Structure 1
Amino acid sequence: MNLRQQLKAALDRIAEIAKAADSRDFTPEEIDEITALTAQADDLEAKVKAADTAQAAVTRLTSKANGTAVLERVTDRTDEAFDAIVKELGGLGGQFVKSAAYQTFRGAHPSGFGEGTPIALDRVKVGSLADFYLARRLGLKADAPVQQVGLARLQNIRLPMVDLTTPMPLTILDLISRGTIGGLSFEYLQITAVTRNASIVPDEILPADSTTKPTSGLTTNLATAKVYTYADGYTVTNQMLADAPALASYLDGQLTYNIDSVIEDKILNGSGTGGNPTGILNTSGVQQQAFDTDMVTTIRRSITRLENIGAPITAVLVSPADNEKFDLLKDATGRYYSQGPWGSGPNTIWGRPRVVSQRLPTGTAILGNWGTVSLMDREGLSVLAFNQHRDYAARNLVYVRAELRAAQAIFKPAELCVAALA
């Protein structure tokens, strides 16, 4: 048994003897045992207090020396269940509350953060971009070991068995490729058009023969991938900042949605001016398909455009309003072309996954090789917190800011097609 368990056992034994002698005097043997247990308890209590003091000193000095993450016990929350919760927290919020910066600051204020407490937590890197999105896609903690999986793959349909599994909906961030960038920018050649002229050439060409060997060609455009900062901020109370599990949950929910949203918007709609990257809808060389007969026919015409240059079609991106129109399409007898309001299964169009984005304008679809769009991590995701913001210190509020520095590139615009659905 450890010191705390031994102390508890001694105190429990004293209580047991006292209860047994509730209506009578203590026997000489009981008096001797109580005397011995009291001395033992006093000694154990002193040792526990000394051990706690030593542990706090070691933790504080260690965190200052090498910045390693520490989990300090604080006087108002010393139960092992709380420590276990903090230890198991995953996601970006979990990485932040497990960091040395957060744990050291929280350990220095065991009773919480009150009015007038100066709050300034150093920037904490909470993982790389690849770790975050892969963990989010697989439903794992940010620090859990994962294996790369194929994206934009449809769930197999099993008939006539009942399949109760429901796959997570795909998003644009599950379709694009991800990487890293070492500098602040780089120039690259975008492939905007492809001409394929491969053919058979005779082995022997006579002097008077005009036959020449074929030449295929690529039309290119010089583009620049620059690093941009994607950021968002949150206001939390001092009480929430002091409560690690609550703070982690809040950051995971808000951070995931808001950062995803701004990245999607810039990948699709970035103007390329005014400090914005260039999005797909403003990139030269992306193929265009005019409206033809109806939405379904237009998508099929777009597929043909892409197949003509050998481009893989990994998904079709549509807006929520257009996604609804696809679902409500009916035949001449009023039957839904899709699986109807009570069906379940792959959300597809012409066998390709249909993915929804709130950032895509209604009446527009984008399809093609989404792997040609890349988001490259420069510094990873980081979180910092401070109350030197407006009048937050006086109102017991803290500003928590999340930032991501990354660059986006579209290597083969010709392998994407923007289709007008109306």
Structure 2
Amino acid sequence: MNTVKVSESGRKDAGSQADSGHSEQVMEQVTAELRRIGDEVKSAGEKALLEAKNAGALSVDTKKAVDGMLVKQGELQARLNDAEQKLARRGNDELPVCKSVGQQVVEHEGIKAMMAAREGRARMGLKAITSVTSGADGSAGALVQAQRVQGIVVPSDRRMTVRDLLTPGSTNSNAIEYMRETGFTNNAAIQVAEGAAKAESTMKFDLQTTTVATIAHFVKASKQILDDAAMLASYIDGRLRYGLAYVEELQLLKGSGTGGNLNGIYTQASAYQAPFALAGATSIDMLRLALLQSELAELPATGIVLNPSDWTRIELTKTADGAYLFANPQSIAGPTLWGRPVVNTQAMDVDAFLVGAFRLGAQVFDREDASVQVSTEDGSNFTTNMVTIRAEERLGLAVYRPAAFIKGDFGLVK
């Protein structure tokens, strides 16, 4: 592509240069003459003042000479102003003129030639303005600013459900003790003969102890960022509390009971043993048999805990003709099975299940509610303007009746 640049004629450029040179010469000459006349006016003025002081008045010749010099000075000043205006006008003529695309097309020599011939093609180059870069000619990238959405996009939170199943409680100690009946021999019988000895039954009790566990974590942030980002402090507070609740859910359900961990419900639950054999038992059948096992232990289950994947598989169970076995896709009722509520949580492993009498069989004790504390006195925090933000809670779990809970797996995941 050839780009044609149209300039003024050489004659006009030469004329402009000549005018410029003449105006500059005039300015130099007039300035020098003004300087000379100024000196003469100053000298004549001093002479006139001295003459007036001595004689009491100016002579006619002196007054005429001074007036002539003042007139000459005024003429020279006018010529100097005229020369300066000519130079200023020429400087303005040299400023670049921004022309529209239409003006550039109309004034382009190639376009003019094509229009005169009424045929042919003409090409002219135009510098595109883009937002790709911000440093080269024709770029406008710095003018485009990204839109910032206010706030922070928070990751999805797990819905906590296990605590709601348990009997709530509180404690002021670091350990919880309770007596559990671990044996009972029932020899109650009908008295056969009057005066005969009565049958003796026996009972056994064991003291059970569960420790209060501490769940805690912290983050560090600069004092400046907490001051400058007003919502960051509350955001950190919420995320730290969520972290406590997340670990609490896992501990209540599957804590190992060692190394400061809670002794979880699933950990202490009784293993699933079908009260009777059932050929080709499905997941739904197994859950019903687990409920029966709990009922036979005189501790009727009040709920079922499943992983969401297992509950979905159960809901999608269909008959031979493709109809859902018991689920209604249009229903908004909560998940239930065999008359018991089903609790979905990812804290439960896929393919595992837990049924139990939750409120009768276990209780959670809060020693210290979840709290968030801020300190600047940790280590070098004071000298580095850092802040330590710590979240902490303390709680204990008492599983009074392990037989109230039945755990097992469906055997579908190998």
Instruction: Provide TM-score, normalisation by structure 1.
Output: 0.50
Pair 1:265 & 2:250 matched: yes
Deviation of 1:238 (Å): 3.9
Kindly indicate whether the alpha-carbon contact (under 8 Å) linking 2:174 and 2:212 is maintained by their aligned counterparts in 1: yes
* Cα separation, 2, equivalents of 1:219 and 1:306: 22
Structure 2 match to 1:400: 389
* Cα separation, 2, equivalents of 1:342 and 1:196: 52
Kindly indicate whether the alpha-carbon contact (under 8 Å) linking 1:190 and 1:410 is maintained by their aligned counterparts in 2: no
Deviation of 1:299 (Å): 0.6
Cα distance change on mapping 1:190 and 1:361 into 2, 3 Å = farther
Cα distance change on mapping 1:391 and 1:350 into 2, 3 Å = farther
Q: Greater relative contact order: 1 or 2 (C-alpha under 8 angstroms, separation 6 or more)?
A: 1
Kindly indicate whether the alpha-carbon contact (under 8 Å) linking 2:241 and 2:391 is maintained by their aligned counterparts in 1: no
Structure 2 match to 1:172: 162
Structure 2 match to 1:344: 332
- Quote the sequence identity (%): 28
* Structure 1 residue runs without a partner (length 5+): 1-168
* SS of residue in 1 equivalent to 2:272: strand
Structure 2 match to 1:185: 175
* SS of residue in 1 equivalent to 2:286: helix
Cα distance change on mapping 1:170 and 1:213 into 2, 3 Å = farther
Pair 1:419 & 2:399 matched: no
Pair 1:206 & 2:190 matched: no
Q: Please, what is the CA RMSD of the aligned residues?
A: 3.6
> CA offsets, 1:120-146, max 9 Å, x none?
xxxxxxxxxxxxxxxxxxxxxxxxxxx
Summarize the alignment of residues 205-284 of structure 1 with structure 2, pairs less than 5 Å apart: 205-207=192-194, 222-236=207-221, 238=223, 241-242=226-227, 247-252=233-238, 254-283=239-268
Amino acid at match of 2:234: A
* Cα separation, 1, equivalents of 2:184 and 2:348: 27
Kindly indicate whether the alpha-carbon contact (under 8 Å) linking 2:162 and 2:253 is maintained by their aligned counterparts in 1: no
Pair 1:360 & 2:348 matched: yes
* SS of residue in 1 equivalent to 2:262: coil
Kindly indicate whether the alpha-carbon contact (under 8 Å) linking 1:191 and 1:221 is maintained by their aligned counterparts in 2: yes
Summarize the alignment of residues 124-143 of structure 1 with structure 2, pairs less than 5 Å apart: none
* SS of residue in 1 equivalent to 2:247: helix
* Cα separation, 1, equivalents of 2:184 and 2:354: 19
* Cα separation, 1, equivalents of 2:389 and 2:184: 48
Structure 1 stretches (4+) deviating beyond 6 angstroms? 192-198, 388-396
Deviation of 1:172 (Å): 0.7
Deviation of 1:176 (Å): 1.0
* SS of residue in 2 equivalent to 1:289: coil
* SS of residue in 2 equivalent to 1:186: strand
Which deviates more from structure 2 when the two are superposed, residues 357-366 or residues 169-178? 169-178
Structure 2 match to 1:289: 273
Structure 2 match to 1:383: 372
* Cα separation, 1, equivalents of 2:350 and 2:312: 11
Structure 1 match to 2:39: none
Deviation of 1:393 (Å): 7.6
* Structure 2 residue runs without a partner (length 5+): 1-158
Kindly indicate whether the alpha-carbon contact (under 8 Å) linking 1:315 and 1:369 is maintained by their aligned counterparts in 2: yes
Deviation of 1:207 (Å): 4.8
* Cα separation, 2, equivalents of 1:374 and 1:404: 17
Kindly indicate whether the alpha-carbon contact (under 8 Å) linking 1:194 and 1:309 is maintained by their aligned counterparts in 2: no
Amino acid at match of 1:181: T
Cα distance change on mapping 1:387 and 1:339 into 2, 3 Å = farther
Deviation of 1:319 (Å): 1.3
Deviation of 1:209 (Å): 8.1
Aligned pair count reads 248
Deviation of 1:367 (Å): 1.0
Summarize the alignment of residues 283-322 of structure 1 with structure 2, pairs less than 5 Å apart: 283=268, 286-289=270-273, 293-322=281-310
Deviation of 1:324 (Å): 2.0
Kindly indicate whether the alpha-carbon contact (under 8 Å) linking 2:365 and 2:395 is maintained by their aligned counterparts in 1: yes
* SS of residue in 1 equivalent to 2:261: coil
* Cα separation, 1, equivalents of 2:328 and 2:383: 55
* Cα separation, 2, equivalents of 1:352 and 1:232: 36
Kindly indicate whether the alpha-carbon contact (under 8 Å) linking 1:191 and 1:411 is maintained by their aligned counterparts in 2: no
Pair member with larger Rg:
2
> CA offsets, 1:31-88, max 9 Å, x none?
xxxxxxxxxxxxxxxxxxxxxxxxxxxxxxxxxxxxxxxxxxxxxxxxxxxxxxxxxx
